[in-house]
Amino acid sequence: MAEFVIFFIMAAVALGAAISMVLARNPVHAALLLVTVLVAIAVMFLLQDAQLLAAVQIIVYAGAIVILFLFVIMLLGVDKSESLHDPVRSQRPAAIVLGVVGLAELLFLVGHHWATGTSSGPGLNDGSGGNVERVARSLFTSYLWPFEVTAILLVVAVVGGVVLARRSGLPPQQELELERDDDDTEPDAMTESTSEVSAP
Amino acid sequence: MTLASVHLTDSYFLTFAAMLFSIGAVGLLIRRNVLVMFMCVELMLNAVNLTFVTFAKTLDDIRGQAIVFFVLVVAAAEVAVGLAIIVAIFRRRRGGATADDIDLLRG
Amino acid sequence: MNPGWDFHAIAPEIIISATIIVVLIADFFFQYRRRFQTSQLATIGVLAAMVPVVTLAVNGGTRQMFGGAFVVDPYSLALTGFFLAAAYVTLLLSVDYIGDGDYYQGEFYVLLLTSLLGMMVMTSARDLITIFVALETISIPTFVLAGWRKHDPKSNEAAIKYYLIGVLSSAIMLYGMSLVFGLTGSTLLRDIALAAPRTPHTSLLIVAVFLTLVGFAFKVSAVPFHFWVPDTYEGAPTPVTAFLSVSSKAGGFVAMLSIVFFGFFAVPDTWQPALWVLAAASMVLGNLAALRQTNIVRMLAYSSIAQGGFILVPFAVAADGHAARSSFEAVVIYLLIYGAMNLGAFAVVIAFARRTRSAEISTYGGLGSYAPSFAVLMTVFLLSLAGLPPLAGWFAKFVMFRSVLDAGTPGATVLGVIAAVMSVVAFFYYLRVVREMWFHPVPDSVNPEPVQIPLALNAAIGICAAIVLIVGIYPQVFARIGELAAGG
């Protein structure tokens, strides 16, 4: 009973915040609404006996990823309001129809008991230790190989981020020249000014 | 049916996740602001996470929770690269540009 | 529970990972003007990784780890070898291109090698989560590579478009995987294969498998998930485009092979209709759109969509008749041959662009008169893509049609007819470039003075041309690889 009430409140909050996020004109508002959704989902994780994930959800998602969004908004000064006017007129109705059809299809299937598989894995409450220990055991046995691969993936995400976001790998003098070119030329003429680095 | 007899089953969570996923997908298609589009992707990934956690509970299989870590890690890596692409674009066009200036998916 | 490491089996992956770290660190210590040496380190790493692939192939047998999530068998080894070879050719293509650009060197190779690592993991992945992580390891570096020319708006747009569609498709794919997990209770393809036919909710399984396949349909640029391809291919640096159109695309096909053949083969209703539509749409739309292109990179982009459609044909007929084995072989063989001829065509485009800085087809006029060797090689690659004997492309088409005949159902026959008609259409746009090179005068804007073509680029073109010619005349070479991959 209590669980049901909690679920109902959180679901209402999350859906309301999600819809407002999609419609928000200001990216900062959208980011704050996203945090609301994430916290509501963290509560749902708790209802589902996923204590570790609830904590990780708050720390990583709300704490790191959304902060990254806010930093980029701050850095670029793109927090101006955006008009919701759509330049591609046909796309919006098409998108909404597509979404509604997809949702209807999924909801149609919900009436049944979905999870029909018989699990072969370790249970939620098997063995000793808490939730953390059991998740860790699964992570370091069944999923050890992808876990190792994600290490490289994170390294390369950092490398890629730095490559794209830093000003340039050029020595300072040439860098200044390139930037001056950027300022002087219209975007259409850009291909000319950088032609020495751009075969087709 | 009294309120006390209502039990929280996996269907509630799965329905909620399906709705969240659809909101994210529609948002991604109708918005033009790249940052909000990224946030819509996060919404979709969270719906996926909730689905995995729900199945972990219903199937009594802890692996469903372990999988969520991979989704989290990959989402973080994707966001880092995606935001770097945005920074690279706006570096080039300074002077109070809004995200609307990027011609996206118009061709 | 000890995961039980078999270091010989993962030696290729370990070597590439070590090379990534070494290149990353070495980049700090090289003098600015000597940064090109990082490419040599990367090349040594790729070549070294081929050694354990060969020793594993000689030892034979099947090796398993992590409860069956990681399998080394002839199929995975054949494709790992293919990815290493394709990466080696891409390195040859990139060396001078990236060097001339005066951009950062080391990071380019780090990103390329990481993408390669993702492909190698993909070939032996037999678990949905490993496949997902491998797919992201392929994709995330390529997002950055597509936007490598930061000061070029086209490259920016290529990157952001590719990125948005990539993350959207991976979110959809993950949702499909989560439903598969709920329906079958496992992420291991082996367990899924046992549980899938027993699930009572066939309709939900269809949705789940379809959503999962959408992710790969984006990766292999099947119509209607192809609209990022022309702009991204045109905007990205050309060596990266070559890499995207061959390696990254093949990575998507490998994932599809594993999921369809090892996971859901017993329930063909869930994937066959969708793949049939994807195959037919890709062939028709890819070929017809390619007819209208005036830019050679965009033409090759649509041509690669169309070739992807041809590769999807064996998938769509795999469960019919006795086509299971021949369709698996057909996909593997087609991928190997497509890789060689497409990389070759892009290598000539890159070499040509050193002369003219242009990718318009009209600037290829008269190439045969002032650079006959290039014109001959380009003709070889294009006619091979068109499927003309005795070049390798005919054998790829042959194995594709063989799988259609083995299937023998009406659906397969219709698809075979579409493939045949579209193969004829394809001749027109490939021959248009050939005609331009041999029978048109040199345009005024092009200076027919010889330019220095770097050795690495020549080597890349030579390797691809040799494979196209040898396999075209002795197709037994690749036929044997295909047989081994399909299980002996």
The pLDDT tens digits of the residues spanning C119-169 come to 999 999 999 999 999 999 999 999 999 988 877 778 888 888 899 889 999
- Segment C305-309 shows an average pLDDT of 94
Give the number of beta-carbon pairs within 8 Å between A and B.
261
Domain boundaries, chain A: 1-79, 126-166
Which residues of chain C does A122 touch, with a Cβ-Cβ cutoff of 8 Å?
Answer: none
What was the pLDDT predicted at C104? Answer: 62
What was the pLDDT predicted at C154? Answer: 82
- What pTM did the predictor assign? 0.90
Say if the Cβ atoms of B51 and C150 lie within 8 Å: no
Residue B80 — very low, low, confident or very high, per pLDDT cuts 50/70/90?
Answer: very high
Identify whether the C-beta of residue C170 lies closer than 8 Å to the C-beta of residue C136: yes
What was the pLDDT predicted at C282? Answer: 94
CA distance B56 to chain A (A): 8
The pLDDT tens digits of the residues spanning C9-23 come to 889 999 999 999 999
The pLDDT tens digits of the residues spanning C327-345 come to 999 999 999 999 999 999 9
Among the residue ranges A50-54, C195-199, C243-247, C411-415, the one predicted with the least confidence is C195-199
Quickly tell me which residue has 């041959």 as its tokens: C337
Contacts of A80 (CB under 8 A, 6+ apart): A26, B96, B98
Residue B99 — very low, low, confident or very high, per pLDDT cuts 50/70/90?
Answer: very low
The pLDDT tens digits of the residues spanning C230-244 come to 889 988 888 999 999
Res. A194: pLDDT tops 60:
no
What was the pLDDT predicted at A34? Answer: 94
B91 touching C (Cβ < 8 Å): yes
Mean pLDDT value across chain C: 88
C54 against A119, higher pLDDT: C54
Angle CA C410–C416–C420, to nearest 5: 145
Domain boundaries, chain C: 271-488
What was the pLDDT predicted at A55? Answer: 93
What was the pLDDT predicted at A63? Answer: 85
Which residues of chain C does B58 touch, with a Cβ-Cβ cutoff of 8 Å?
Answer: 182
Percent of chain A past pLDDT 90, that is, above it, reads 27
Residue C361 — very low, low, confident or very high, per pLDDT cuts 50/70/90?
Answer: confident
What was the pLDDT predicted at C444? Answer: 78
Res. A174: pLDDT tops 80:
no
Look up the CATH number of the domain holding residue B66. 1.10.287.3510
Among the residue ranges A20-34, A176-190, C290-304, the one predicted with the least confidence is A176-190
Which residues of chain A does C97 touch, with a Cβ-Cβ cutoff of 8 Å?
Answer: 199
Residue B106 lies in a domain: no
The pLDDT tens digits of the residues spanning B22-58 come to 999 888 888 878 888 899 999 999 999 999 999 888 8
CATH code reported for the domain at A1-79: 1.20.120.1200
Identify whether the C-beta of residue C129 lies closer than 8 Å to the C-beta of residue B70: yes
Residue B58 lies in a domain: yes
Q: Identify the sign of the CA torsion C429, C434, C435, C441.
A: positive
Angle CA C115–C386–C332, to nearest 5: 45
What was the pLDDT predicted at C382? Answer: 93
Q: For residue A158, which phi and psi values (nearest 5 degrees)?
A: -65, -45
- Segment C197-205 shows an average pLDDT of 82
Angle CA C172–C173–C179, to nearest 5: 95
- Segment C422-439 shows an average pLDDT of 90
Which residues of chain A does B62 touch, with a Cβ-Cβ cutoff of 8 Å?
Answer: 121-124, 126, 134-135, 137-138
Say if the Cβ atoms of A153 and C133 lie within 8 Å: yes
- Segment C399-427 shows an average pLDDT of 91
What was the pLDDT predicted at A80? Answer: 58
Which residues of chain A does B36 touch, with a Cβ-Cβ cutoff of 8 Å?
Answer: 21-22, 24, 27, 30
Say if the Cβ atoms of A178 and C151 lie within 8 Å: yes
The pLDDT tens digits of the residues spanning A59-105 come to 988 888 999 899 888 887 665 555 555 555 556 676 777 777 777 76
Say if the Cβ atoms of B61 and A123 lie within 8 Å: yes
C181 touching B (Cβ < 8 Å): yes
Residue B1 lies in a domain: no
Q: Which helix (H) or strand (E) holds C313?
A: helix C296-317
Identify whether the C-beta of residue C191 lies closer than 8 Å to the C-beta of residue A121: no
Please identify among residues 111-140 of chain A the ones whose CB lies closer than 8 Å to any CB of chain C.
112, 114-121, 137, 140
- Segment A113-135 shows an average pLDDT of 71
- Residue in chain A closest to B42 (alpha carbons) equals A34
